[in-house]
Structure 1
Amino acid sequence: MVTLRHNRIYVLPTMFGALYAATAVLVLIGAINYQLSLAYLFAFVLIGLGHAALLQSYRNLLKLELHALVAEPVFAGDTAHFPVALANTGKPPRRALSVSLHGQPASWVESVPRDDATIARLPVATTGRGWLGMPTLRIDTTYPSGWCKAWSYANLDARCLVYPRPEDDPPPYHGQHGDQGQRRVHGDDDFAGLRNYVPGDMPRQIAWKQFARLDTLLVRQDERHEGHAWLFDWHALPELGTEARLSRLTAWIIAAEANGDRYALALPGSTLPRGNGPAHRHACLQALALFDRMTP
């Protein structure tokens, strides 16, 4: 977390603000030359308004808290998004904020209410796999008049995992084929029958219609099909280079997950056991993303 304090905030006039300041100075010079009271009044009003605008731009950032949140993994070549929470504790609403990461497009935050937070998703283009550190954050505002710009920088401790880019048109996955055919396991897909209620069963599993008719608690038994099990082996692709192997293995993992197959991943020095599901998919793709062998 970073809190924007007075020593982190910079303020300068915008182009329009510089023209406004020049106009105020010219009016003041004219008032001095011609000793016109109304010209003095007008010049001092312009200067006072300019000073108030500068102060409000500065206060629009003062004590704003920046929190880096967890970034979702992406594939190499896609755009990563770093979520940053802008928290406004005990201060008036902050308005018209522009938040960006170094060299990347800015995200517009219209308002951060008092004692509340707003999340900005900051895009970063990715090229290679591995951990992508969050670049330097810049936040600026020209609120309320557009005459002054206040800005600040922050370095937040955040990173995003970038998976290898999957091969565009991979061949059908193959390898050491494990459990042949399909087998049935307990799940939520197909109705398989009823059994007596056992303490600990979920209420949603109870067959309420049968309970109303028989006055006996029965529980649904469901089954689902589980596909084949595969081993995706690094050493089974000797004809490919390092990044090409990672790209193909990534594509096979995505395809196996979509097909409902169980799969294992064998890399030099480590093997992930067979499984499937979002957690297993992430573990396998993370192992590929962080693979550091530089030769085939």
Structure 2
Amino acid sequence: MSGLEISSAKEEGVFEGERGYFYVKYRKEQGVAFGLKVGFDAGQMSAVPPVTNNLNEYPVQGGLKNRGYHTLKRLRLESCFPFGLVRAWTWLKLDASLLVYPKPVEGSPTKAENSAEKGLRSDQRSDDYNSLRAYQAGDSMQRINWKKYASSELLVVKDNDLTASDASRVRWQDYEPYGKEQRLQFMCEKITRLYKAKQAFGLELPVIVIEPDSSEAHYYACLKQLALY
């Protein structure tokens, strides 16, 4: 094990009920390290592929975890190479982490949806002049509202620069009187559904407000808030 470099890799994110993994990076400056095993204790060890001077990433199964932030407190590394007569081992403390999001569960808000959310569901927004503007050179042809053109011969495009009130907001108070975990599961399912539909959405938790967006980074930022709340 001499000359072996070990460090934590990316932070993994999974939904509650899914198996999570901690990712660890291995590298050996010279030669090849054979016969390595890692695990949480001596009775739960798994083999690591031969480690070379290339950076290798290896997953360590973390099992099923509850919602929240989990860290890899310690990891056992051992080797019986080459003859299996002597075992060399050590404990490693790494900063590898696992983020577990709430399990997405479909549930209807107990409070009525606001008019903007209803508009998103029925696609009424696409016919609203407030979300349309005159065509400009360089605008994508896909954004042209051909229905409006057919009825008025006006070349207009859908304006993606919507105000916050035009986007769907996923709000904590809309799921009363459900318990905390149920609310988080319902909210997780809704933001996942909106994200997959490429609709902008915002998230509102007590003392936490994230403005509407539709990007991947925004989606995972919202999932993280739900996981840690």
**2:35 aligns with one of 93, 96, 108:** 96
Once the 2 structures are TM-superposed, how far is the Cα of residue 69 of structure 1 from its aligned partner? 0.9
Q: 1:72 and 2:12 equivalent?
A: yes
**1:264 aligns with one of 202, 213, 216:** 202
**1:81 aligns with one of 21, 33, 47:** 21
Q: Measured at CA, do residues 194 and 269 of structure 1 come closer, stay the same or move farther in structure 2, by a change above 3 Å?
A: closer
**1:117 aligns with one of 31, 55, 58:** 55
Tell me what 1:160 maps to.
98
Contact 2:15 2:102 in 1 (8 A): yes
**2:192 aligns with one of 244, 251, 254:** 254
The structure in which a higher percent of residues are strand is 1
Tell me what 1:170 maps to.
107
Tell me what 1:221 maps to.
140
**1:243 aligns with one of 175, 181, 185:** 181
Tell me what 1:108 maps to.
47
Q: Measured at CA, do residues 103 and 245 of structure 1 come closer, stay the same or move farther in structure 2, by a change above 3 Å?
A: farther
Give 3-state SS (helix, strand or coil) of 1:112's partner. coil
Q: 1:87 is aligned with what amino acid?
A: R
Distance (whole Å) between structure 1 residues aligned to residue 84 and residue 215 of structure 2: 51
Tell me what 2:172 maps to.
234
How big is the alpha-carbon RMSD for the aligned residues of Structure 1 and Structure 2? 2.9
Q: Which runs of 5+ in 2 are unaligned?
A: 128-134, 144-157
Task: List aligned pairs for 1:120-131, cutoff 5 A.
Answer: 120-131=58-69
Write the deviation string for residues 172-207 of structure 1: whole angstroms up to 9, x where unpaired: 8973242732449xxxxxxxx995xxxxxxxxxxxx
Distance (whole Å) between structure 1 residues aligned to residue 54 and residue 200 of structure 2: 44
Once the 2 structures are TM-superposed, how far is the Cα of residue 159 of structure 1 from its aligned partner? 1.7
Q: 2:20 is aligned with what amino acid?
A: A
Task: List aligned pairs for 1:51-66, cutoff 5 A.
Answer: 61-66=1-6
Structure of larger gyration radius: 1
Q: Which runs of 5+ in 1 are unaligned?
A: 1-60, 185-192, 196-218, 292-296
Q: Measured at CA, do residues 223 and 287 of structure 1 come closer, stay the same or move farther in structure 2, by a change above 3 Å?
A: same
Distance (whole Å) between structure 2 residues aligned to residue 103 and residue 278 of structure 1: 40
